[in-house]
Amino acid sequence: MRPKRITMMLAGGALSWSLALVAGAASPAATVGGTSIAITEVEAGLRIPLYELEVERYRLTRRKLEQVVAERLLQAAATQRNMSVSAYVTAEIQDQMAVTPAEVEARYRQSRPASVAPEEMSEERAKQDIKIALVRERASLALQRLLERLSREANVSIDLRPPEPPRIELTAGDDPELGPERAPVTVVEFADFECPVCKESVPALKELRRLYPEQVRFVYRDFPLAAHPQARPAAEAAQCAHEQGQFWAYHDALFGQAPELSAPAYVKIAERVQLNTEDFAACLRSGRAAAAVAKDAMEAQRIGLTGTPTFFINGRYLGGLQSLDALRDAVEKELASALNGGALRQGERER
C-alpha cells in the first residue's frame, strides 16, 4: 500500500513540499524543492526529548502500578481477616497514630514564627492544627510500614524498569578539555555560565576529576540560554581564555563570580588569571570566540537540548543537576563496559 501524501503550495507555488505518512524509515518523510528529508534526519534531534517523554510515562506508570499493588495487598489482607479494607487499615495503624500533648508542645515551640502576632492565630488553634498534622504524618508512615511488611510477606516484585538513556554521537570540536586524550571515559558537559544549577554542579565535577585523573577526559561545551543575557558574553570570554591555555582557571573564576557577570568583570578575571589582556581584547573583537560558542550552541540544538547542565558520559545522556554519586555510577558503568570491550571509547567522534 502506497503512503498517503499531503501536498501544500506556499507563496503562489514558489515553494511546494510533500509530507508523507511514512510507511518505513527508508521512505522520505518530506520533500522540499525536490530534495528528500528522511525521517532519520528528523529523529536525530528528537532522541532526547522523546526519551524525556518516556521517562515521564515511566514515572506515571510506576506510580499507578505501585498504587494497584498496594490495593491488591490491602484487599487480600483484609479479606483474610474478614474485614473491609478501611477497617483493616484502621486496626493495623491506629495505635501508631497517637500524639501526646508534649509532642504537640515541642512542635509548636519549634515551628511558631516569632513575628506572628497572637491575634492572628490563637495558641489553641495552632496546637490543634499541629496535632492534626502530626496524626497525618504518623498515619502515612504507619501505612507505608504496613505495605512494606505485606510486600515482604507476599514476595512482591516489580519488574518495570525505567527507559535506558540514549547514547548520542556528538560532533567533535576544538573544545576545552582535561584528562588523557585516550581515557576510556569521556564526560562532555553542555553548560551556561549564568546558570545557577551549572554553578552548583562545579564541586561535584571537580571531585570527579580528582577521583578519576587517568580514566576520564572532561570536555566543556557552551550552551548559553536565551534567558541569561550574560551567558553568551561570558562564554565568549572563556573561549578567549581558552586561546591562551587558561580556560579552566577562567571557568572556575567565572562560576565563582556568577551571577554578577558583566563586561568589566570579564576583563578583571582575565587580569586575575594572568592573561595577556591585549590578546584577550583582540580575541573578543575578532569574532572567533563568538563563532566557537555558536558552533557549540548549534550542536546542542541539533541533538535536542533545551536546558543546562547536560552531561554525556561516553555519549550516554544525563540531564540536569547530578550528584557526585550519580556521576560516579555513570562513569563506573562505562569503565566496566570498556573493560568488556562494549563501550565507545569517546563521547565525541569526528564526522
Q: How many CA atoms lie within 13 A of 318 on its CB side?
A: 23
Dihedral of the alpha carbons of 97, 100, 101, 104, in degrees to the nearest 10: -50
Distance in angstroms (rounded) separating the CA atoms of residues 130 and 125: 9
Is 67 within a domain? yes
Same domain, 208 and 274: yes
| Number of domains the chain contains | 3
- Cell, residue 291: 563563532
Same domain, 265 and 318: yes
Beta strands in the chain (DSSP E): 5-10, 15-20, 28-32, 35-38, 170-171, 177-178, 185-191, 216-222, 310-313, 316-319, 348-349
Same domain, 59 and 30: no
Find the domain containing 323 and state its range: 170-349
pLDDT of residue 97: 93
Is 159 within a domain? no
Same domain, 138 and 10: no
Q: pLDDT averaged over consecutive 10-residue blocks of the chain (351 residues)?
A: 38 38 63 88 88 97 97 97 97 94 92 58 88 95 97 96 95 91 96 97 97 97 97 98 97 96 96 97 96 96 95 97 97 92 48 34
Nearest to 238, CA basis, from 189, 176, 171, 311: 176
Nearest to 315, CA basis, from 341, 349, 350: 349
Domain boundary among 93, 122, 153: 153
Residue for grid cell 497517637: 98
Helix (H, G, I), strand (E, B) or coil at 171: strand
Same domain, 82 and 226: no
Distance in angstroms (rounded) separating the CA atoms of residues 65 and 44: 32
Helix (H, G, I), strand (E, B) or coil at 183: coil
Cβ 303 vs Cβ 249: under 8 Å: no
Is 327 within a domain? yes
Domain boundary among 153, 179, 212: 153
Helix (H, G, I), strand (E, B) or coil at 167: strand
CATH of the domain at 237: 3.40.30.10
Q: In this structure, which amino acid lies at residue 118?
A: P
263-272 and 277-286 helices, crossing angle to 10°: 140
Same domain, 92 and 208: no
Residues facing 7 on adjacent strands: 18
What is the pTM (predicted TM-score) of this model?
0.78
pLDDT of residue 9: 36
Cβ 291 vs Cβ 242: under 8 Å: no
